[in-house]
């Protein structure tokens, strides 16, 4: 049986897109077989996995609030710079992709190295601290 080629959403971001083609706040594309979401916030452009790590909700349909995006299904929230899940029900971060500008084109070719999760660091801090769990979590949780 022949292997079927997967359908990709939007343009191939590894080939680049013209900045003029990026007319809204978000743009869904792909790099190889991975769907990637570009998000414009002011002069910056972020690239993250296009699907929520909770139940694979379509983040392209989500709400962008500052430097974060909320999943339209269960309202999990992710930091666009780090990919960290900043609001439940998601606990797993999104992959973050490097965005390169070459002239009037934007390219996305590779994933960035994942940073340490605030959830994991909060759990480690809770285990080694006498502070209450609620105080520690609230003080370390980024706001969405």
CATH of the domain at 37: 2.102.10.10
Say how far apart CA 84 and CA 53 lie, in whole Å: 10
Q: Which of 37, 34, 33 is nearest to 45 (CA)?
A: 37
pLDDT of amino acid 117: 55
pLDDT of amino acid 141: 53
**Does 53 map to a domain?**
yes
**Does 80 map to a domain?**
yes
pLDDT of amino acid 111: 87
| Domain encompassing residue 31 | 17-112
pLDDT of amino acid 8: 74
Averages of pLDDT over runs of 10 residues in the chain (144 residues) are 60 94 92 95 94 95 96 96 94 96 94 65 44 49 58
Backbone angles phi, psi at 45, to 5 degrees: -125, 125
- 84, two tokens: 């960290």
**Does 38 map to a domain?**
yes
Look at the chain and report how many structural domains it folds into. 1
pLDDT of amino acid 124: 39
**Does 134 map to a domain?**
no
State the virtual CA torsion across 130, 133, 139, 144 in degrees, nearest 10.
170
The string of DSSP codes covering 39-82 is EEETTEEEEEESB-TTT--BGGGSEEETTEEE-TTT--EEETTT
pLDDT of amino acid 128: 39
pLDDT of amino acid 132: 46
Say how far apart CA 4 and CA 102 lie, in whole Å: 33
């Amino acid at each position: 049986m022949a292997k079927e080629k997967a359908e990709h959403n939007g343009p191939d971001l590894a080939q680049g897109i013209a900045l003029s083609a990026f007319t809204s706040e978000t743009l869904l594309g792909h790099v190889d077989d991975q769907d990637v979401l570009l998000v414009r916030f002011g002069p910056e452009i972020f690239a993250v996995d296009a699907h929520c790590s909770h139940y694979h909700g379509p983040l392209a349909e989500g709400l962008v609030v500052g430097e974060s995006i909320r999943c339209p299904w269960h309202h999990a929230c992710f930091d666009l710079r780090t990919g960290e899940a900043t609001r439940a029900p998601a606990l797993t971060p999104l992959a973050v992709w490097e965005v390169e500008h070459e002239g009037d084109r934007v390219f996305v070719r590779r994933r960035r190295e994942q940073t340490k999760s605030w959830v994991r660091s909060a759990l480690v801090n809770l285990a080694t601290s006498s502070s209450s769990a609620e105080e520690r979590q609230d003080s370390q949780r980024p706001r969405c």
